[in-house]
Amino acid sequence: QTPQPPPREGRFAVRDMKQTVAVGIIKSVNKKAPGGGKVTKAAAKVNKS
């Protein structure tokens, strides 16, 4: 079998007013422990009820 190219999931483009303003490639992701992120006021309000 021939090697397959990597999936396009790691590529992105930022568009504003139908113009491309930035492009990028995600090379790696550093995962953090669950629950270690910031909780917004809206999320806290939903979880409270």
Condensed to tens digits (0 to 9), the pLDDT of residues 4-34 reads: 776 667 888 999 999 999 999 888 878 777 7
- Check whether 49 has a pLDDT greater than 70: no
Per-residue pLDDT, 8: 64
Per-residue pLDDT, 17: 92
- Total-model pTM: 0.41
Across the chain, which distance is largest between two alpha carbons, in Å? 54
Per-residue pLDDT, 1: 72
Per-residue pLDDT, 7: 65
d(CA 25, CA 33): 24
